[in-house]
Structure 1
Amino acid sequence: MQSQRSTATAQQRTTKKGSWHSGRWMLVLLALVCAAPVIASYLMYYVFKPAGGTSSYGALIEPQRPIPSQLMVTDEKGQSLPFKSLEGKWLMITVNGSECDEQCATRLYFMRQVRVLQSGERERVVNVWLRTDDKPVSDVIKTAYPQPDTRMLIASAKDVAAWLPVNDGAKLTDHIFLVDPNGNLMMRFPKNPDPKKINADLAKLLKWSRIG
């Protein structure tokens, strides 16, 4: 009888141990499945590159630069909020003063057209104009780039410059930047960019990644 009890106890321990290991591996598998879209999108750009050149038009930002937790912005209603609150979407960002010059207007136009070209995927993308002052925006610009497709947010020029890197000899206002839905700065496009090539990069990312 004692032997039978010992055997039963040992079997129970083995079953519990097996169940614990099984549960742990299920959690690991679930985590990998959830992370797969993110991993795939980064592998397509950081690892698998076609012969003869890189796979992207935009410059890849390495190491990752997540949205700073201290970066605060003022929205269109005058309310203050952390910029991190915009996470969850792909963000195309341009930086400029509120008196949007021709170069600024061109970047906003390119961003709008690239977003439109994503067709059914365009709702995954939000264009952001980080304004480095609180001067009024012209009615022409407001009408051409309405919310929520284009967000016009006021941010500290110093805080933005500390986060967004620029090319040698370039200015912060020369670039369009791309941030992934996890809040990581992913790409920087060159001065006077080719919108067709920006579109190709973004379309590829939206295809390979289901986040956002």
Structure 2
Amino acid sequence: MKVNVKNISGEDTGKSVELIDDIYGVEPNDHAVYLDVKQYLANQRQGTHKSKERAEIAGSTRKIKRQKGTGTARAGSIKSPVFRGGGRVFGPRPRDYSFKLNKKLKKLARRTALSYKAKAERVTVLENFNLDAPKTKSFLNILHALSVQQEKSLVVLDNVSANVYLSSRNIPNTKVVTVDKLNTYEIMNANHLILSEGAVEKIESLFNSKATA
């Protein structure tokens, strides 16, 4: 499908780019999307949760009452989980939540996510641009010109631009990433995808079905 290229003023430049079917028109694979999003969210977890079990609680190990004849259950330590202040039974322990996914599956998930956005006509191609200085108002003007200021937007650049990044980081519901950091979760989470011309070319080289990376 062909998409007209716009400038930062929201006007057509007279140019257009071809969004190839191998990336923006694939047969959706929802399970691949599910697995890739699941891995992304799992990788965000620190896994540092910890609670103390009875062996780690500070307290006396004296037998608190005689074994028999009290009419209540036997108890051997104040650190028992049945008492207030005792250890926790099967509490959380530090662990790594990450898991492996094949590169081909991850690439298929990203192509599926991009295809969903293209099919919904939620992809805008923007002429390559940069900002002279980090200024939030300048970036807001671009969003207003593209009529996406009220939407959750993901701006994808081909290379790192410090001024663009700094200008966007205070704007809610807007995120700027480079192609190499593009992931399925953020594509699906955004209402609108804004790609620079350079990003379109780089996506084609990285995410097409024949790419080995």
TM-score band, normalised by shorter chain:
under 0.3
Largest Rg, 1 or 2: 2
Higher helix share: 1
Greater relative contact order (Cα < 8 A, sep 6+): 1
More strand by share: 1
Relative to the length of structure 2, the TM-score reads: 0.25
